[in-house]
Copies of this chain bind each other. A is one copy, B any other.
């Protein structure tokens, strides 16, 4: 095992370029949403038993939200939920220090609500503990995220490939403090929308799972933008056959008819990056192929039921070189433009 200091890498981390023009905020702040309170039996005694268990409280399982409201608000909120092993910071910038989607959508007039899901990041207080792993496994994720075959990046990759950017990217990961519970996350997300008011839900990867159920449950969700969701839902009697793909089996997420009907009242766009070939020796690529095919089935079903669903595989519209982290890559603003245009078509801007 080698262990070395990252001092030089960080010293070399280039100063972020200033905004091309300023960003004017009407407000910003943080709050928690959702969660539970646990209270021990007994009476707390601060004089003789400060550290005893009697009567002690634990507030846990909430989400933590950083919000920013632009001066020139367009009246819509946008709630962004990260994926597996990530926190909200992925929306707030790029590994090479450029603007993130948060900055882009603030400029477009959206009030942004950036979520750390329950038991992650600044929302770490948990009622169910999880062991923190110190096992190195970042190259599994580099592979799963379709960045390339380490140490090589995919041909024409849009990921910033200098040493400092790669270092910054890996450091975005942050562990779960408790087990991932999609219902706990959904419950917190519904309360985020209670606070944000009507708005667009943006999910990345695993965030899609509680994203679909949140969108079905909250009247405040106006539309869903799912960036490479970990799965897509189907009514229980229309579930596709699971596909054995790579390390994972890829199937539809069972959803009640009632929830599915509520979900597809809202416009939905699902976006996939590049490097999802029809066949591959790479289990990670086979996984995403199966997921993309499942998304096309979902699109057909939703539209056949009168819904409004668009699935975009970026190479099909001429945008190439993107991994699972398209919102942080060199052409991240080009992809944001695709989303903004889709929102514009639906008068959600």
Q: Which residues of A contact B (CB under 8 A)?
A: 1-7, 10-11, 13, 15-19, 22-41, 44, 46-47, 50-51, 53, 55-60, 62, 64, 66, 69, 71, 87-89, 92-93, 97, 99-100, 103, 116, 121-140, 143-144, 149-150, 167-168, 170-175, 177-178, 187, 191, 194-195, 247, 281-284
Complex: chain B residue closest to A35, CB-CB? B6
Q: Which residues from B are CB-within-8-Å of A284?
A: 46, 50
Q: Are B10 and A283 in contact (CB under 8 A)?
A: no
Q: Which listed residue (B99, B122, B134) contacts A60, Cβ 8 A? A: B134
Give the Cβ gap from A328 to chain B, nearest Cβ, in Å: 11
Q: Report Cα–Cα, A285/B146, bound state, in Å.
A: 55
Across the interface, A58 reaches (CB within 8 A) one of B24, B27, B39, B138, namely B138
A214 shortest CB reach to chain B, Å:
15
Pick the contact of A195 from B4, B13, B41, B150 — CB < 8 Å? B13
**A137 with B56: in contact, given A27-B16, A92-B66 (CB under 8 Å)?**
yes
Name the distance in Å between A115's Cβ and chain B's nearest Cβ. 12
Q: Which of B130, B133, B136, B283 contacts A40 (CB 8 A)?
A: B136
> Cβ of A38: which chain B residues have Cβ within 8 Å of it?
1-3, 136
Q: Count copies of this chain in the complex.
A: 2
- The smallest beta-carbon distance between A241 and chain B, in angstroms, is 24
Q: Name 6 A/B residue pairs within 8 A (Cβ), A-sorted.
A: A16-B29, A29-B93, A53-B136, A59-B138, A121-B121, A125-B175
B138 and A11 contacting across the interface, CB-CB below 8 Å: no
Nearest-CB distance from A323 to chain B (Å)? 13
Q: Measured between C-beta atoms, what is the minimum distance from A114 to chain B in Å?
A: 10
**Residue pair A128, B134 in contact (C-beta under 8 Å):** yes
Q: Are B171 and A55 in contact (CB under 8 A)?
A: no
